[in-house]
Every structure is written in structure tokens, then in C-alpha cells.
Structure 1
Amino acid sequence: MQQLKSDHQQADTTPSRGYTTRAVQRWSQSASGWSSEDLLDNLAEEQPVALVYNGISHAVMMATPDHLDEFALGFSISEGLIHSPSEIYDIDVTRQCQGWSVNIEISSQRMMELKQRRRNLAGRTGCGLCGTESLEQAIRPLASVDAAPLPSPDTIEQALSEMTAHQSLKKMTGASHAAVWADLTGQPLAIREDVGRHNALDKLIGYLVTEKTDLKQGFLLISSRASYEMVQKTASAGISNLVAISAPTALAVEQAVQSGINLIAFARNQRFILYTQNNTTF
């Protein structure tokens, strides 16, 4: 069995487990009344991460501080800030007093375009539009993805059955989302977790790009709903198959149709709904 890429290692020299521990009191009621016990609870870390392009701060996202180099690469691709990974020359992650600074050096051409967009995101968990200045910026036109085989029902069920076991941060804290890359047998090959579902996906996209993964030979499985942002990021990365355990939105379905993504949602309890399908079959 191939080793799953899910370890919570930090991008720079300071390791991060993705969670911290705090002393708490747990209260519960029984037949004799309410009682408490002292224990230690694991809390998912949520820290500000500044994405700085060529010395100019572009986005501050609240994120779990691990795999920040992959996060920066995935964010740059999924937000359309670069056209190719080769346009990033360097990524440097440094610890700041209140969070993390990820300094990304990109080509001069992409930097000129970035300045023209005049975006300055101030991210919150689950927020993908903070700082967008116009309606045109909110919904970007998407390129079409390559056709790829749909994951079979058995394949989807296999990936779902193994997903929870590999969500180490969720098991520790109960407060994280996950994005999983599985092959066409349903075997999860890589997973990234974060307090924000967009961040988890960006981290995974960064990993897939770094590893030069063949995106026709697998599918993306997310632990959240399929919002338009998740479809947008999936299309920007060139991924053809998106499986979500919760509902899609109408705009997400519309964008999946436009980009040619196979969109499957409500994947749980041995059932799913196929919302969009390109010319491939199970």
C-alpha cells in the first residue's frame, strides 16, 4: 500500500502539529446530577497567514499553519495569480509574532497583472471573496478541463470508507476540513487538512502540482459542500473529477458544466448524486 501523504509538517524549520492542547473542564449529566472532570483538549490551530508577492501583501488568510509552501503554490494557481508553477521562483515561510508570512517571488509579468487586479484579501475561515472589488472579479471565467474517466461507485465508496481514518487533525480536534486525492481504485494517496475547506484544497493542489501528479488518473474528494469556490479552484488546477460529501450550490453546478468537471455530491451512506458529467462513463 502506498504511503499516504498526510503528515502535519511545517513548511519551514519550526514543526507544527496543526493543533494545540488546553486544560478544560468537561461537564456531563447523569442520574445523580451534573459533574465535571478536568482533562486536556486538543484544539485546531487557526492563525493568520500573510501571502506576500514580490514584497507586497496580497492576502491574509486564517489557516492551520502546516504545509504553507504547498498552500502558497495551490492558492496562486487556484486564484489565477500564476499561469504555471514555473512562474514562481521562490517560496519562503517565516514565523511572525502573530502568525506566518509566506513570501512568494513570481515573474514580473504575473506581478504586473496582480497589481492591476488590485485585490487585497483579508481572509476569514471559509471566506473567499473578502476584498474583491468588483462583480467581475467575484466569478472568474474558467478554462475547460480535460475529459477523464468518472470514478466508479465502488471506487467512490472505497475512498469514503478510508477518508475518515486518515483525517488525523479531525480525529484530534473535530474542527478541520479535508481534501483528498484518490486514485481510480479508490485508494487515497494524499490528504491535506485545515480549519478552512478552501485552504485544505489549496494545500492539496500545491502538493499535486509539486509531485507532478497525473490528474486524469484520480479524483478529488472533499469533506465539505461543493461551493462555487471549490469548483473554481478544482477547474483552475485542471482536475476533472470532484466528489463532495455535502451539497453543491446552483452556481457550483453551473460552473462545473461550463468547465467540464464531473461533479458528484452528497456522497455518503452508499449513495451519491451525479450532477454534471462530461463525455466519459463509469
Structure 2
Amino acid sequence: MSRRANVHSSAEGAHEWGIAEEVPVEIGFNGTAWTVMMASPTDVEDLAIGLALTEGAVASGRDIKTVAIRQWPEGLTADIRIAPDLVRSDRIHRRALDGRTGCGLCGVEQLADLHAPPSALPPGPRVEAAAIRAALDSLPGHQHLNRETRSVHAAAWCRLDGEIILVREDVGRHNALDKLAGARLRGGEPDDAGFVVMSSRCSFELVFKAARMRAALLAGQSAPTGLALNLATRLALRVAAAGPDGAIVFFSPESADE
């Protein structure tokens, strides 16, 4: 979702430019607010479900009955309807999230939380460099909102051969991945193997969320941070990035074998 603005370019003169919208989105359970995220006002149901799953507040998308979206003058609300006994209250109380779009530490109440990631992934299928390159090259063609605004991130779920089958966009990179997770996991755990490609750099919260999605690999447009790589190693999640001259660079315990 975007609106238009008149801009002036030194090369092209005056023309219209799409401006990405960013609004507060309150996410809650059974009428009780949990967090407020700054997000793009699209695919809000996916965002609510994905955040609840990647943050561990809900065990399975099958447990969620409905998500009620309402528009208010101040922003949007997404109320997740779920049996009270299926909400992990310890995660709700510990993670009263202050959801800034650019904040990599959203939901971390204390430093110790950084060292409590999900369990390591079982050995997954190998993803070839050619498949990652194909996904990264085709991703811009799936970024419809970014073509209008040039200001939003994308997260894509890809088959092992690199074909992109699902994409979500948002002004926040981790919001985009939560939307992707929500879209994939709302009906339960899909059994198709695949990997995640991001339009952004690979940060530690993206590693955390990709692991929750049971991705075979996480690929980004630039190299991971040290913290992201440390977490990926602990989770046995392969990480890759676009390198110079079209190369794909692997950052993982198996990188020496790539």
C-alpha cells in the first residue's frame, strides 16, 4: 500500500513517486493487547500469525481460530482468537514487544534472552549456489510494492531449485519475514522443503525467525553480522549472501565444502 507524491529528479524532472505507508499495528490475543508494531498496512493477518509463531507465543498455526483486523484512526488492530490454554502466557508476559520496524532487539527483555534460541535444525537438504542466485535475481520481479516506493523489504520462500513461490513485503525486514511465516504456517507446518531469500542484509533476528520456519537456508543481499553467523552456527542453519561478480558466498559450518 502506498500513496503518491510529486518529486523532482535532477535527471528526469518532476514526476510522481510512490510513498510507502507505515502505521501502528496492535497485535493481541482474545481482546488483550500484546504488542504494537510499526508496519506496512498490508497482509496484517499474516504479520500477526507470523509474529505469534516466530516469537513462540503460539505453538502452531492450527491453534488459531481467526484473526480480526480492525481499522482505527490511530492505526490497525489484529486480534488473534485462540483457546486461552493454547497461548503461551510465559512468552506473552516476558515479551511485551516494543515493535519498531528497524529494531533488531524487539522482544528481548534481558540480555539472557539472546542466548535462548530455538533448538538446532536437523540436517536439511543442500541448496545449490545456482538456486540461490536464481532466487536473488528473480526477487525484484516479485517486489510489487518496492517497485512503486523503493523503500520496502521483501522475504521470499523458495523451492530447492530457486523458484520463488511466496513473497511478502514490509517497511521492516523482520516484519516481512514474519508475514512470510504467517502466510506459510497459518494452517500448520508445511512439509515442503525450501529456503528463505531476503532483500536485506542477514541479521540475527532473521536467522532466529528462519529457524522457526524450518528453512533449509537463509540468503540475503549482503553478508551476515557476526552475531547472526554465531546464532546460525548454533542452530545449524546455513546462511548465504550475494557476493561480488555474481558469486554466492556461503557462511556455515559446511562452507569449506561448498
Give the TM-score normalised by structure 2: 0.90
Matched, 1:72 2:48: yes
Q: Deviations over 1:216-248 (max 9, x none)?
A: 2x2110111111100011112222211111120
What amino acid is the match of 1:201? L
Task: Judge which range, 223-232 or 233-242, deviates more.
Answer: 233-242
1:93 corresponds to 2:69? yes
Deviation >6 Å, runs of 4+: none
**CA 1:88/1:153 → structure 2, altered by over 3 Å: closer, same or farther?**
same
- The answer to whether 1:21 aligns with 2:4 is yes
Q: 1:105 to 1:267 in 2, by over 3 A?
A: farther
Identity of aligned residues (%): 33
Shift of 1:25: 3.8
Residues 245, 268 of structure 1: 8 Å contact kept: no
Rg (Cα) greater in structure: 1
TM-superposed CA distance for 1:267, in Å, is 4.8
- The answer to whether the 8 A contact 2:60-2:185 is kept is no
Runs of 5+ consecutive residues of structure 2 not aligned to the other structure: none
Task: Kindly report the root-mean-square deviation, in angstroms, between the aligned alpha carbons of the 2 structures.
Answer: 2.3
For residues 57 and 256 of structure 1, the distance between their equivalents in structure 2, rounded to whole angstroms, comes to 31
In the alignment, structure 1 residue 226 sits paired with structure 2 residue 202 = yes
Alignment of 1:1-282 (within 5 A): 18-22=1-5, 24-28=6-10, 37=14, 39-109=15-85, 110-117=87-94, 119-130=95-106, 132-210=108-186, 213-216=190-193, 218-267=194-243, 269-277=245-253
Aligned AA (1:106): I
Which one has a larger percent helix, Structure 1 or Structure 2?
2
**Residue deviations 1:51-85 (CA, integer Å, cap 9, x gap):** 11222211111111111111111111111111222
Letter matched to residue 214 of structure 1: D
Alignment deviations for residues 201-229 of structure 1 (CA, whole Å, 9 cap, x no partner): 0011111113653342x211011111110
Q: Which runs of 5+ in 1 are unaligned?
A: 1-17, 30-34
- State the secondary structure of the residue aligned to 1:178: strand
> CA deviation digits over 1:124-171, x for unaligned, max 9?
222143464322234433212232222111111111221111111111
Provide closer, same or farther for how the CA distance between residues 199 and 131 of structure 1 changes in structure 2, counting only shifts above 3 A: closer
1:8 is matched with which residue? none
CA distance in structure 2 between the aligned counterparts of 1:151 and 1:267, rounded to whole angstroms? 16
Cα 1:278–1:105 shift into 2, 3 Å:
farther
Equivalent pairs, count:
255
1:122, 1:115 → 2: CA distance? 12
CA–CA separation in structure 2 for the residues paired with 1:139 and 1:57: 26
Deviation at 1:272, TM superposition (A): 2.0
Task: Name the TM-score, length of structure 1 as normaliser.
Answer: 0.82
What is the CA-CA distance between 1:189 and the residue it aligns to?
Answer: 0.7
